[in-house]
Amino acid sequence: MKGRLLTGNAAAAAAARLARVDYVPAYPITPQTEIIETIADWVREGTMDSKFVQLESEHSMMTAAGAASLAGARVFTATSSQGLLYALEMLYNVSGWRAPMLLVNVSRGLAAPIVLEPDHNDVLAARDSGFLQLHSETCQEVADLVLLAYRVAEDKRVSLPAIVNLDGFYLSFTREPVVLPDQGKVDQFLPPYEPVSPLSASRPVARGSAVMEGFVYSYFRYNLHAAALRAKNVFNEAAGEYEQLFGREYGPVEGYMLDDAEYVLVMSNSFTALGRQAVKRMRERGVHAGLLKLRMVRPFPTEEVAALLRGRKVVGVFDQNLSPGLGGIFYSEVAGALYHVKNRPKAILPAVGALGGKQITAKEMDSVFEEMVRIDRDGVTPSPMFLMRDDELARVRKAVAIAEGRS
Amino acid sequence: MTVRVRFHGRGGQGAKTASRILGNAAFNDGYFTQDFPIYGAERRGAPVTAFTRFSREEITERGFIFSPDISAVMDDSLIADTLANPFSGLRRGGVAVVNTTKAKGSVVPGRDDVKSVCLDLTGQALKTLGKPVLSAGIAAAVARISGINKEALLTAVVDELKDIGLSAEMVQKNVGFAAAIYGELSPLELKTEELDAREELVPLAVVVSEGGIEAVTQAGNSAIRHTGNWRTFRPNIDYEKCTDCMMCYAYCPESAMAVGPDGRVKIDYDNCKGCMICMVECPLKAISQTLEGGA
């Protein structure tokens, strides 16, 4: 077996070291803390040449990160869940500053109630912030996407900050074989960051000015949007070079058993593994199932989604997030990408599941494909699925009874 | 028809209150009414804009007034201010009401298709109120020109000024101010026509073709924006008394105090906003104030 056993957190830290980051402003939060602990250790023992500072909050951490990036430093930081939300105000600023720093988010469900295991409402709260977003399924992907993200973010055609997302526990604390790229080749792939007009004490530069008027604001916001759209081709270019250097191929999306697939489920992040298993089981039952994984979330890979989902009978979207009062977030985005496609699927099934890391059994996963088949067969309009099992419901009821003093 | 009034003033002159007095007056007179100010980074002397719409039919417009029937200018130094641009979009047949002592006849450069009404509101205000606050006077002028009932106006003056905490005495002085201005004028016919708009949409690809990233890399460009016309009062240095102690230089919040080639303190009138802090702080009382000409 090639590589070595690393957790997702360790892979993120190792990639930051390989990227030769200059500055790591940090603040601890479960399940991310291992990343900054690892980096702090390396900096202390002198095996990583970075400035490490623990700030007093994620808000300050993000402010320091953005400012250092504007000064020309390559900046790495990490957070999770509530921490990301606390930093959120600054995320919009940092992207408006066009500061190409990298934030690793370790997904964890949002309070209240409090939970530690993953869903994607945290990282999707930053969906509209102007940060590029790349989501990982494996620990290997974490390491590779960190390096790719720096390359794309710092490209002059983009100049935007990025988030690399990994699921808490399912990746963050899970060890699996990871091949870390060779430092010499990483240096070739990712040369030192060269800022355009860096903040400098001897040459004043103002960023994030008040523009006051809407048309000036619109001009810069439109430019931010255009830069985010350009990031997709820049990513593809960089990914091509990455594949040549390191032998691993990455696209904005990834198909699984799509060739003749009639029923395709769209998923993201680590639970995609469960979707792949379900596809295999359905294939064994003679159902032409397939899967489409979203790796790039911002910019949204509209063309790839449309190209790979056109002509399918029914598409399902598995959302590990919930926008209360609407439903799954990716459902709307996938449906939007497909609306103008001529031979679009006749139905799109929304399925919400695995909130707060709720475990998903084979039966639950299969039920989504079975519903897609049924919708096709009976020609019915999909009604949204919210995955929950009877044994789980019984346990909730029992706990609620105790909480209310009824047992 | 809908009457659209745009007030242009300077922070402290009462442009916002004027728009509210006029709105309230029209409301009292049975009109559908709308009034609102726009807020920037205010301070005393900075250009301020406020809007009033009134109509016998329900108003279906909202927001900025780009094509006013009446442009009410409370400070004639704004006429040349390219950012305030108080007559932009003024309709053919519309009216420019201007507080000035300088101008006579037409005050709108290059426009013979609009009417001008010139008034010395600052003089009247200093006489009746003792300070250059013009809200009641300018609202009264516009109310009269557009045919709003006098009682409706005076009730509005009382309501609005009470509302912002003026003493009963000051409210009564303002009622007197409004009544005097109202009495000086007569209604004008407001048959107006919108100017032709010359604008084209720009596609996103063109807008973003420069890859614009917001960054100010040239320091010291605030001097380009001349704010000297914000002044109501002008500081003057009596060089007989001045000892060049530089206290004014230290206190000036705008860096508008400079040292001239002769080594003496000099006021940069292009950027001095007339806050008069220098006059207050001068230990030798060597700085006095005079009213800026006109308004």
Q: What CATH number is attached to the domain comprising B113?
A: 3.40.920.10
B204 occurs within a structural domain: no
Mind telling me how many Å the CA of A201 is from chain B's nearest CA? 12
Into how many domains does chain B fold? 2
Q: A215 to chain B: which residues are within 8 Å by CB?
A: none
Choose from A92, A98, A223 for mutation: most chain B CBs within 10 A.
A223
B206 occurs within a structural domain: no
The residue among B184, B206, B234 that closes a domain is: B184
Mind telling me how many Å the CA of A73 is from chain B's nearest CA? 17
Mind telling me how many Å the CA of A241 is from chain B's nearest CA? 25
User: Which pLDDT value is given to residue B117?
Assistant: 95
CA separation for the pair A264, B280 (Å, rounded): 77
Q: Are residues B275 and B134 in the same domain?
A: no
The domain A253-393 is placed in CATH, from the list 3.90.70.10, 3.40.50.920, 1.10.760.10, 3.40.50.300, at 3.40.50.920
- The residues that bridge with A349 in the sheet, in sequence order, are A316
Domain spans, chain A: 4-192+208-246, 253-393
B8 occurs within a structural domain: yes
CB contact under 8 A, A220 and B208: no
> Residue A64 CB: number of other CB atoms within 10 A?
20
B213 touches chain A (CB under 8 A): yes
User: Using an 8 Å Cβ cutoff, are B141 and B181 in contact?
Assistant: yes
CB contact under 8 A, A159 and B215: no
pLDDT (tens digit, 9 = 90+) per residue, A257-297? Answer: 999 999 999 999 999 999 999 999 999 999 999 999 999 99
User: Which pLDDT value is given to residue B41?
Assistant: 65
3-state helix, strand, coil in chain A (%, to 5): 45, 20, 40
B16 occurs within a structural domain: yes
B201 occurs within a structural domain: no
B210 occurs within a structural domain: no
Residue B47 has pLDDT above 90, yes or no: no
Q: Are residues B81 and B165 in the same domain?
A: yes
Instruction: Indicate which CATH number applies to the domain containing B246.
Output: 3.30.70.20
pLDDT (tens digit, 9 = 90+) per residue, B104-155? Answer: 777 898 899 999 999 999 999 999 999 889 999 999 999 999 999 999 999 9
B28 occurs within a structural domain: yes
Q: How many CB pairs under 8 A join A and B?
A: 45
Which residue stretches of chain A have pLDDT < 70?
A: none
Q: Are residues B268 and B177 in the same domain?
A: no
Q: Are residues B165 and B277 in the same domain?
A: no
CA separation for the pair A309, A9 (Å, rounded): 33
The residue among B184, B206, B237 that closes a domain is: B184
Angle at B97 between CA B93 and CA B98, to 5 degrees: 135
B217 touches chain A (CB under 8 A): yes
Q: How confident is the model at residue B42 (pLDDT cuts 50, 70, 90)?
A: low
B202 touches chain A (CB under 8 A): no
Q: Are residues B70 and B165 in the same domain?
A: yes
B256 occurs within a structural domain: yes
Q: Are residues B235 and B145 in the same domain?
A: no
Q: Are residues B153 and B268 in the same domain?
A: no
User: Which pLDDT value is given to residue B295?
Assistant: 40
pLDDT (tens digit, 9 = 90+) per residue, A3-15? Answer: 999 999 999 999 9
pLDDT (tens digit, 9 = 90+) per residue, A338-395? Answer: 999 999 999 999 999 999 999 999 999 999 999 999 999 999 999 999 999 999 999 9
pLDDT (tens digit, 9 = 90+) per residue, B165-219? Answer: 999 999 999 999 999 999 999 999 999 999 988 889 999 999 999 888 999 988 8
B208 touches chain A (CB under 8 A): yes
User: Using an 8 Å Cβ cutoff, are B144 and B187 in contact?
Assistant: yes
Q: A209 to chain B: which residues are within 8 Å by CB?
A: 214, 216
Q: Are residues B155 and B263 in the same domain?
A: no
Q: Are residues B256 and B152 in the same domain?
A: no
User: Scanning the structure block, which residue is given the tokens 């003093």?
Assistant: A405
Q: B213 to chain A: which residues are within 8 Å by CB?
A: 98, 159, 196, 220, 223
Q: How confident is the model at residue B69 (pLDDT cuts 50, 70, 90)?
A: very high
Q: Are residues B154 and B30 in the same domain?
A: yes
Instruction: Supply the CATH classification number for the domain A4-192+208-246.
Output: 3.40.50.970
Give me the DSSP letters along A209-245: ----SHHHHHHHHHHHHHHHHHHHHHHHHHHHHHHHH
Q: Kindly report the average pLDDT of chain B as a whole number.
A: 92
Do the domains spanning A4-192+208-246 and A253-393 agree at the CATH topology level? yes
The residue among B163, B184, B205 that closes a domain is: B184
Mind telling me how many Å the CA of A51 is from chain B's nearest CA? 26
CA separation for the pair A162, A135 (Å, rounded): 11
Q: B84 to chain A: which residues are within 8 Å by CB?
A: none
Per the structure, the complete domain to which residue B171 belongs is given by 2-184
